[in-house]
Structure 1
Amino acid sequence: MTDANGSDDTPSAGTSTSEDAADEAEKVSSELYDLIGIKGKLSKTGAGVTECSGKDREKFFKIFHPSSLVPASADQLGGAMERLKEELPKHGWKVVEYGVDNSQNKNLNLTADNDKKKYSVKIVHMAKDNPPGLSLMVVSGCYQVPDGEKVQRF
């Protein structure tokens, strides 16, 4: 679903309405938080709809679901990314990128794809933020709306 060059080789995720696909993205996010296993304050952001590159925007769409976690205590984040790197493959995710980014804070990033679910996730450990936390961006493959329907944008 992703590659190191950032090209858009988005696989088909099947047929769905925007609302049902958004519900699925939120479910995937919830499963990821369960794997993280850290209690804290979760952001209350909903899923959004975006277009599939090069496809009819009335019929095709991707879902994205941004969220973040601020743990009760910053020391809970110690080793979290390393644990995710080990645990995600046991749950159908393939880690495709892992390392420090080029930002001033040198945040640790992990990108993983789940080919079966047709989702990708990018997790950023923002250790130097105040307060420190994790940022997640879950993105679906490219859905097509059922015949006779149009993409609902939200």
Structure 2
Amino acid sequence: MKIRLSAYAVALPLALTTLTGCSMTDEEPDDIMYAGTSTSHDAADALEKISSGIYDLIGVKGETSDSRAGVEECPGKDSETYFRTFHPWSFYPASPSDLDTAMQHLKERLPKHGWKIVEYGPDTSRNRNVVLVADNDEKKAGVHIAKMSKRERPKLSLTVVSGCYQVPDGQKVEHF
């Protein structure tokens, strides 16, 4: 369990940085994708709707994990004024044989809905999970999807992230 948590702790910030175009150093804060002005709760709700749209594209029966969107800082920006949202969730197909179909549907359907696939192929893990990374400039969001077929319960692991928002004047970022 510790290995998975450690790998996730390293992978999530990397995925978030890759997906939102955010710089890993404070030297280039202008590289951050700006998503507009919003409250933390409204931005989180909007991101969950984006996740729901991705779920609709999967096109096979199954169940999802019960998770909510969260809020984190934008690198190089004032943490009381700027934030981005993330929504990690999992999809478990009704039948393990449907996992390939679900991933294929996403690969084919995401581009038809404004997503640009920027990476597709096996990762460097021992299991060589197939990873799909896509960005949607219109929605100011990105998604990282890993097909984990060698797990005891095969699944798609998804993390949807937003660009960086600025809270309305006079408000502060709410973290949850």
What TM-score results when the alignment is normalised by the length of structure 2? Answer: 0.82
Q: Which amino acid aligns with 2:147?
A: H
Code of the residue aligned with 1:91 in structure 2: it is: H
The root-mean-square deviation of aligned C-alpha atoms, in Å, is 1.7
CA distance in 2, matches of 1:13, 1:7: 12
Q: Tell me which residue corresponds to 1:60.
A: 82
Whether the aligned pair in 1 keeps the contact of 2:57 and 2:105 (CA below 8 Å) is no
Output the amino acid matched with 1:146: P
Q: Which runs of 5+ in 1 are unaligned?
A: none
The sequence identity of aligned pairs, in percent, is 60
Larger RCO: 1 or 2 (CA < 8 Å, sep 6+): 1
Q: CA deviation at 1:2?
A: 6.2
Is structure 2 residue 94 aligned with structure 1 residue 102?
A: no
Contact 2:22 2:33 in 1 (8 A): no
How far is 1:148 from its partner?
0.2
**AA of the residue aligned to 1:136:** L
CA-to-aligned-CA distance 1:126-151 (integer Å, 9 cap, x gap): 00011101010000000000000000
- 2:41 aligned residue (6, 15, 19): 19
1:37 maps to 2:59: yes
Q: 1:63 to 1:7 in 2, by over 3 A?
A: closer
Provide the C-alpha distance between the structure 1 equivalents of 2:92 and 2:106, rounded to a whole number of angstroms.
16
| Aligned twin of 2:102 | 80
Output one character per residue of 1:40-98: Cα deviation in whole Å (capped at 9) or x when no partner. 12101111101001000000000000000111110111233233222111100000000
1:112 aligns with 2:158: no
More strand by share: 1
Identify the structure with the greater helix proportion: 2
* Corresponding pairs, count: 153
Does residue 147 (structure 1) correspond to residue 169 (structure 2)? The answer is: yes
TM-score by length of 1: 0.94
Structure 1 window deviating more from structure 2 (105-114 vs 6-15): it is: 6-15
Letter in 2 for 1:87: R
Rounded to whole Å, the distance in 1 between the matches of 2:137 and 2:17 is 11
With over 3 angstroms needed to count, the CA separation of the structure-2 counterparts of 1:3 and 1:44, relative to structure 1, is closer
Q: Distance in 2 between matches of 1:7 and 1:23?
A: 22
Instruction: Give structure 2 stretches of 5+ with no counterpart.
Output: 1-15, 24-30
Letter in 2 for 1:125: K
- Is the 1:2–1:10 contact (alpha carbons within 8 Å) kept by the matching residues of 2? no
Amino acid in the other structure paired with 1:99: G
After TM superposition, the runs of 4+ consecutive aligned structure 1 residues lying more than 4 A away are 1-4
